[in-house]
Structure 1
């Protein structure tokens, strides 16, 4: 029996080497190249890690069987091993399970959100957008470009049919209209203007989806800071490494609140009331308007508020709304409609504050109604 324990210990040492390669490659300047690396594990990497954990469990059980059960060992050491072995088995089993559980979050920060992204962020066309391919056969139709950030892209929505741009296309009628979605997570107004210019379709209609954090990047450029927003900033030392690299603790970590909304609210309030920041933001907006003028397109702007801070959102973005209205943009607000939607239905999930199906349906209805009025 002693020899069997020794051979298991030797195999554990060898598994330890594999553990370092799989979980801490950066410490030894090792680089694995695959889609999503190094931010997320591919399916093949997760399968490899699963095999590692299963091999580890086999050796732990083997040592427990020969060292305690079969030898009928007694005493403090045997009792401690008897207590720890089931605990280790459960934790490793849960680690394996959570390697395959998707859950959307605000960004693609958690390991669960990375799994969600890989599973549901489809299709991605040749231009890099989560949308259908551009078709030359659609040039005879009225072409609508929806531009925006993660709300436009449908972050947190598993089915594209639930996204407001896709619902809008169905309402307008696919025989006469085609709607292309240019939503990109983390995008701001400056980036959106540039992407519009590069898109290979000259639009008849532009729909801008606007969210209060669109001012964030220009605010940072002009000296405003947002504290507490960096992921894992509240963790230090080995604990931070542990949470970042393993699925079970990472999942638990992201169920807890971390970024303070009050801090972000203060940042946004400063950004919209600071004339230097606001004017810079409006200059970025003017680039989008210049593109609209060059194409002769009709433009609509749908303002998505902070979904649980409706009135404050409307106050923050009022200068932008007024600016767009003064330049011939049809502005669409959602505050009254969202007020009628139960809070739980406003978002895609408790860990993801992006617009849920009900809010996307409201957006599609409002834009459709505005477009119909525009044709009258």
Structure 2
């Protein structure tokens, strides 16, 4: 028995030594980087939809233990975490660009395409010619980033440009917006009751606006040939400004013409401390005489009723009522969520009204007042 006990003790000591030796060697062999942007989110998974569990500041140093599709595995507060590699530089330094919208990348970084039939262009913008296509899962070496476009290495030594929002690699402008949004959320953390301030403002309330469609998904086409995706993006700015004037923190799922899947929209809602998610759409029907404004909900009828009632007090459009529906962005959303059909762009009268300043101001005021009523009551 004594020999057995000694053997077990020896084995445990050896394993402990082996573990410590490997851990120390692992850390010593890891490459050290420093943060090259003003603020960098620390996430639980190698994804922009991963939970944000902390933030690093410019100049902070980390040790990289693994790289995966443009993400670096490191340690933060004793936990394994991930940070976007394109915002890191070797600790010994790197060349800086004078252009604030241009971020030089390490050639060892990679970028993965997230959608099918993505255009590869000769330059950074949709005005440049298409020189190839990429599909979901394709991975390329990342050369540079300019604005919202990534330069990638192609076969034969050539390069091309691909829209960053169709990849897993965040751009500097997106990271900056991400940081501003999270900073704003922290500054305006809501009360535990989730109610508006006593003066009736929306201070402390986080509202996510979701302009429908975008990118390769145009949505419905109006009688004037205008795609729904452009109209939803345009009205979102007006609504966001009204909400911000009322003190709300506003997060927008997309701020440009790029594609987001339904799951990505829901993931964004879950990524923030969202108190109300509002998806914005315009309706369409083959018969031009069909018209009117509708509000849809999955489980949050109170939110739908308050906003719909307030909107109809502020606009002069046919009321098609509040209806329950099974739309993905509401059904899968853990936060209170509704979807607004802001009128029929296949009806000439609705379309004319939709484009008027009175309608747009009335819609923005209606949504703002409806949210005030909702958060005062619940």
TM-score calculated relative to the size of structure 2: 0.30
RCO greater where, 1 or 2, for CA within 8 Å and sep 6 or more? 1
TM-score (norm 1): 0.30
Between structures 1 and 2, the one with greater helix share:
1
Question: Of the two, which has the highest radius of gyration?
Answer: 1
